[in-house]
Amino acid sequence: MRSIIKHIKKYALLLLLFPMIASAQNAVFEIKIDSISATNIQNGERKYQLFFTLSNSGKKTISFLLRPTQFSSIQYGSMSNSVHYKIYEEQRPLDLGDAFERIDEANPKRVSIDVSDLDKIELAKKQLRETLHISENAIEEYIRTGTVKDSTIRYREREILSEIITLKPGETKSYKQIFFWDRKPYFKYDENEFYLDQKKGHYLELVVMSMREPFKTQMPDEDFRKLMAIPDFLTGVFMSNRVLIDFSP
């Protein structure tokens, strides 16, 4: 029954978003993957470096809500303003859930910070700075020990208006994402289980969902009125080109 309900919700969301997907096809906004590279690192994982751009090819300024440094599966964040990813096996879309940075509940991998790679350390520091009011000394303590003794640390209140990105006519902005895969071909998402066929080609696609209404309950009324008053706000669902991603053994 849970599986049926999940699929009903999934297709209801697709029907809701279809007009925006259709209208976005002719929009002046483009998200494009420039390149993706893969390197096997010391702890056995595979590290990916992804470079992508956001472009405005039109003659008017456009604005949209997006956190380009936040990277999440389309299955987990369909109504958020992260950059979402979709994985394909050949032409078939896969419901893998979170394909990267997975944590096995039976054997947690990241109870403490994994210091096997410098990029992992920097990503951990960045996440702490973005989510907490925390000193640099406390960050270093957390990296070393996995805990912080400072009782004054508080979560930051999210300021959604600060997440507005504006692109002038002809402007392009470039971004980089680093993420990791544990190199296990087995995935479980909700009640679905799946094994990657590592003899087939796999492709990564990025998705941007630019909307305002879902954030009404997440921000003060005055801020939401300011958001709704933006005249050049871009609404739609935008998909990038697909590029080959290395899921080989």
Please report the pLDDT score of residue 152 as a whole number: 60
Please report the pLDDT score of residue 198 as a whole number: 92
Mean pLDDT for 47-57 is 96
Tokens, residue 197: 């066929």
Q: What is the pTM of this model?
A: 0.74
More confident residue, 47 or 114: 47
- Burial annotation 51-87 (CB, 10 A radius, 16+ → b, else e): ebebbbebeeebbbbbbbebbbbbbebbebbbbbbbb
Tokens, residue 91: 């032409």
Tell the residue number behind the tokens 């933006």, with chain if given.
Answer: 230
Q: How confident is the model at residue 119 (pLDDT cuts 50, 70, 90)?
A: confident
Q: Which of 4-8, 127-131, 139-143, 185-189 has the lowest mean pLDDT?
A: 4-8
Strands 192-195 and 243-244 turn out to be unpaired
Please report the pLDDT score of residue 108 as a whole number: 37
Tens-place pLDDT, residues 53-106 = 999 999 999 999 998 988 888 876 656 788 999 999 999 998 887 788 654 444
d(CA 214, CA 23): 19
Most confident by average pLDDT, 5-19, 84-98, 136-150, 229-243: 229-243
pLDDT tops 60 at residue 112: no
Mean pLDDT for 18-44 is 76
d(CA 183, CA 181): 5
